[in-house]
Amino acid sequence: MFSRLRRRLTPPVNLLHGAQPAVLKHGQQPATTPVNRPGNYIMSIYRNLLIALMLVLATACGKSPSEPPGAPAAEATTDTAADAQTDAEMQSATAVKYTASCAAGIDRVGALFAELEGFQGEATVASVLDPYNTLQRELTNVAYPAQLYFLTHPDAGVRAAAAECEQKMDELNTRIGLSRPLYDAIAAVDVSTADDETRYFVSQTLRDYRINGVDKDEATRTRIRALNEEITKLGQQFDSNVPADVRSITVDDPARLAGLPQDWINAHPPGADGKITITTDYPDFIPFLRYADDNDLRKALYFEYQNRAYPKNQAVLESLMEKRYELARLTGFDNWADRATADKMTGSGAEAWSFVRGGLEASRSRAEADYQEYLARLRQIDPDADQVNPWQSSWIGNKIRLEKYQVDSAALRQYFEYTKVRDGIFGLTTDLFGLEIRPWATDEVWDPAVEAYEMYSDGELVGRFYLDMHPRQDKYKHAAMFQVETGEPAVTVPRAALVTNFPGGEEKGYLEQSQVETFLHEFGHLIHFLVSNNQRWTPLSTPEWDFIEAPSMMLQEWIYDTETLQSFATNDAGEVIPAALVEKMRAAQNFGQGLFINGQMFYASISLNYYNRDPASFDLLQLWEELATKYSVLPFVEGAHPYASFGHLNGYSAYYYTYMWSQVIAYDMFSRFEEEGLLNRDTARDYLQEVLARGGSRPTAVSVTEFLGRPYNFEAFQRRLDQGT
């Protein structure tokens, strides 16, 4: 049970701002972790609960899974035996209390569900929709704290209870999502004279039930259940085969490690046979591809890396795709990509593919310019080089970056003391959106290090949040926004928590630039949640999944605004960050973007094209090669079988495009700020009202169109890419 939950909650490697940008950015398959990201069918079944979970996943997009440099070891304790005894009793009392509150919550949800399933009489908004809405709200309010506590609570007893609570909520939610009586009751409500939002709510709810096949006859539903189980098993098999297949190369002569950092070399002494072993695991693979000067060794390791889980996953992936195809057909779709996108902004596989093709076109010339720059630098080293190979791009890209764009991280860090950054982001939130942040005096924190705040708009309380920002033993190791409580109009405001592992806390700490960016990004999720999670219909609080990252990606842009940075970034001597340094940060950020985007869009093309047709109609390797030849700027490597370890083919399945989709819309929305001023309050107000606060109460395409005054397009994205050429 623990491992199941842990697997699900493992955050995806952030592909835009990965911990290993050199490798991720330049041509390799994205380094996937064994994320057991729920497939779309599950997402539809568990719509609300899993949207919550996935938001955690999504928001766990802090760039580097920041293993803090100064993570404290277990603290030495001077407690006496008697104190320890008291602590243990206290802890267990906390766990007992939490377990009881979860059990009560589950009982409440169970009772509401039973009542609705047995509903007789005239189905109306008041008799069916209102109780269904309450059911959904109660469900999230039990599930949200369970996720948070499982990953952050200092008391092991509470963490265990939270894991169990979450599993029970999962089971209950599955039953709700597959309940035919509930579907029939909601479908029977006549909403023809209801308001727009209520009609939209009903149409969305029924659509999700139909995606699950709840409206089908009993025989079909039995087959659907069996397929779901098989898909889950195959997906787990696919995911676990990748990390299980660790490959390696060996080196006889330590001189061949030239270029690698000394600490890495020290950590790789020769074994008893005199050979040095280098594996395909990330701590070896990523630095090796980035720093090792030996081209043949890089090539050999790359080849092993791209053959992980091959041939084992060949048959697994083929079966997984067949089952998904069958499930899609049974539930009324042409193929899996159509089913997986039915509840997204794209709405269909064809629309998603048209987006990806557009992205490939828009990024093409910039990607080729980057490629030429890499090739020219490579030729200075090897005059005979006729192309940049995938095992060379990270290495040569890193050389250029150091030569042309290096920003001294120590010089930057002095301006990013934690409390100044925090207060700076609070200040930006107030300046931009008129959202004022005040300390909140409450005892309801899970650890003494957690800070609590309230957010006000025009003097009115809109939400509450916690900051759990510094490392601690047994705490979640990444950065994420967690939902804590759903808001209910006129009753209660939403609550959320930011969890990160930044330096600071009891001692003064200084953030890296990437951490400041992570802070802004996660704070973007927080603002979005707090201002939107108070809809009349609770399930309409969250927008379509492929839009989730856009507000956060957009807020990150403010770190490159000199005026914003200079408003809070000062060093200990009180000097503000120099404008030239901000400019340098911007240039460094822009470097290599063409190849990065081309790589991301190429993987999105694989993910879609593997799933937008009958899997019996094509060969995995052949289609990969075809798409690579057509769309990837970096060449395909003969003998590689990258699909066998492309983990997102299970988790994301067809919708790997979502990060890029969010990015394109983020740039487009940001373009209005660029025109009207980054600190223009009217623009920000518009954005808050038309986009953020709407949540999922209407199609996001409508919200974005309202804000921009036109439908979104590729122009800002294209401009951004062209700036770098």
Least Å distance, CB 173 to Zn ion, is: 23
**Distance between CA 714 and CA 711 in Å, rounded?**
10
Is residue 500 a contact residue for Zn ion (CB under 5 A)? Answer: no
Least Å distance, CB 530 to Zn ion, is: 15
Name the residue nearer to Zn ion (CB basis): 178 or 666: 666
Give the dihedral sign, CA 356/37/52/483. Answer: negative
Least Å distance, CB 366 to Zn ion, is: 24
* Phi, psi for residue 473 in degrees, rounded to 5: -60, 145
283 burial class (0-12, 13-18, 19+ CB within 10 angstroms)? exposed
Distances in whole angstroms, Cα of residue 705 to Cα of each of 198, 540, 691, 712: 21, 19, 9, 7
Q: Applying CB under 5 A, which part among 51-59, 158-166, 367-375, 568-576 lies near Zn ion? A: 51-59
Member of 59, 394, 598, 609 binding Zn ion (CB under 5 A): 59
Name the residue nearer to Zn ion (CB basis): 324 or 521: 521
Token couple for 595: 């190849």
299-302 long-range CB contacts below 8 Å, 24 or more apart? 299/389, 299/391, 300/249, 301/249, 301/391, 302/28, 302/390, 302/391, 302/637
The DSSP H or E segment spanning 537 is none
Name the residue nearer to Zn ion (CB basis): 66 or 552: 552
* Phi, psi for residue 435 in degrees, rounded to 5: -95, 115
Residues 623-642 within binding reach of Zn ion (CB under 5 A): none
Name the residue nearer to Zn ion (CB basis): 61 or 257: 61
Least Å distance, CB 589 to Zn ion, is: 17
Name the residue nearer to Zn ion (CB basis): 61 or 597: 61
Sheet (strand 495-499) strand order = 435-439, 451-457, 460-468, 495-499, 480-485
Whether residue 549 contacts residue 569, with contact meaning beta carbons closer than 8 Å, is answered with: no
Q: Find the Cα–Cα–Cα–Cα dihedral 19, 21, 25, 31, rounded to 10°.
A: -30
Name the residue nearer to Zn ion (CB basis): 284 or 549: 549
Least Å distance, CB 222 to Zn ion, is: 38
Residue 340, Cα to own-chain centre: how many angstroms? 17
Looking at the DSSP assignment, which residues form a beta bridge with residue 250?
277
Token couple for 680: 């223009």
Name the residue nearer to Zn ion (CB basis): 205 or 542: 542
Is residue 483 a contact residue for Zn ion (CB under 5 A)? Answer: no
Q: Applying CB under 5 A, which part among 52-60, 156-164, 632-640, 657-665 lies near Zn ion? A: 52-60
Whether residue 693 contacts residue 531, with contact meaning beta carbons closer than 8 Å, is answered with: yes
Least Å distance, CB 55 to Zn ion, is: 9
Least Å distance, CB 639 to Zn ion, is: 36
Name the residue nearer to Zn ion (CB basis): 373 or 512: 512
Is residue 61 a contact residue for Zn ion (CB under 5 A)? Answer: yes
**Distance between CA 498 and CA 148 in Å, rounded?**
10
Name the residue nearer to Zn ion (CB basis): 11 or 259: 11
Least Å distance, CB 498 to Zn ion, is: 11
Please tell me whether residue 554 adopts helix, strand or coil conformation.
helix
Residues 678-697: x where in contact with Zn ion by CB under 5 A, - otherwise, as a string: --------------------
**Distance between CA 68 and CA 173 in Å, rounded?**
36
Q: Find the Cα–Cα–Cα–Cα dihedral 676, 678, 682, 686, rounded to 10°.
A: 100
Least Å distance, CB 364 to Zn ion, is: 27
Q: Applying CB under 5 A, which part among 53-61, 239-247, 261-269, 471-479 lies near Zn ion? A: 53-61
Name the residue nearer to Zn ion (CB basis): 15 or 106: 15
DSSP letters spanning 118-163: T--S---IIIIIHHHHHHHHHHHHHHHHHHHHHHH-S-HHHHHHHH
Q: Applying CB under 5 A, which part among 61-69, 350-358, 399-407, 608-616 lies near Zn ion? A: 61-69
Name the residue nearer to Zn ion (CB basis): 39 or 62: 62
- Peptide bond before residue 311 is cis, with ω within 30 degrees of 0: yes
Name the residue nearer to Zn ion (CB basis): 155 or 549: 549
Residues 324-363: x where in contact with Zn ion by CB under 5 A, - otherwise, as a string: ----------------------------------------
Least Å distance, CB 648 to Zn ion, is: 16
Residue ranges in 180-335 assigned as alpha helix (H): 180-187, 196-212, 218-244, 262-266, 282-291, 295-305, 312-330
Least Å distance, CB 20 to Zn ion, is: 18
Residues 192-251 within binding reach of Zn ion (CB under 5 A): none
Least Å distance, CB 549 to Zn ion, is: 5
**Distance between CA 645 and CA 96 in Å, rounded?**
43
Please tell me whether residue 259 adopts helix, strand or coil conformation.
coil
Least Å distance, CB 521 to Zn ion, is: 6
Distances in whole angstroms, Cα of residue 87 to Cα of each of 78, 79, 154: 13, 10, 12
* Count of residues that bind Zn ion according to CB under 5 A: 4
Name the residue nearer to Zn ion (CB basis): 390 or 651: 651
Q: Applying CB under 5 A, which part among 60-68, 462-470, 492-500, 673-681 lies near Zn ion? A: 60-68
Residues 240-279 within binding reach of Zn ion (CB under 5 A): none
Name the residue nearer to Zn ion (CB basis): 556 or 609: 556
Residue 673: name the closest of 513, 563, 581, 557 by CA.
557
With CB atoms as reference, the residue minimizing the distance to Zn ion is 61
**Distance between CA 46 and CA 228 in Å, rounded?**
13
Least Å distance, CB 263 to Zn ion, is: 31
Q: What is the DSSP letter of 502?
A: -
Name the residue nearer to Zn ion (CB basis): 481 or 620: 481
DSSP letters spanning 568-627: T-B-TT-PBPPHHHHHHHHHHHHTTHHHHHHHHHHHHHHHHHHHSS-GGGS-HHHHHHHH
Name the residue nearer to Zn ion (CB basis): 552 or 663: 552
Name the residue nearer to Zn ion (CB basis): 464 or 528: 528
Residues 518-577 within binding reach of Zn ion (CB under 5 A): 549, 552
Least Å distance, CB 551 to Zn ion, is: 9
Least Å distance, CB 424 to Zn ion, is: 20
Q: Applying CB under 5 A, which part among 54-62, 104-112, 281-289, 590-598 lies near Zn ion? A: 54-62
- DSSP-based helix, strand, coil % in the chain, nearest 5: 60, 5, 35
Q: What is the DSSP letter of 485?
A: E
Least Å distance, CB 546 to Zn ion, is: 13
Name the residue nearer to Zn ion (CB basis): 56 or 169: 56
How many alpha carbons fall within 13 Å on the CB side of residue 275?
A: 8
Residue 432: name the closest of 688, 666, 689, 684 by CA.
684
Least Å distance, CB 622 to Zn ion, is: 35
Binding site for Zn ion (CB under 5 A): 59, 61, 549, 552
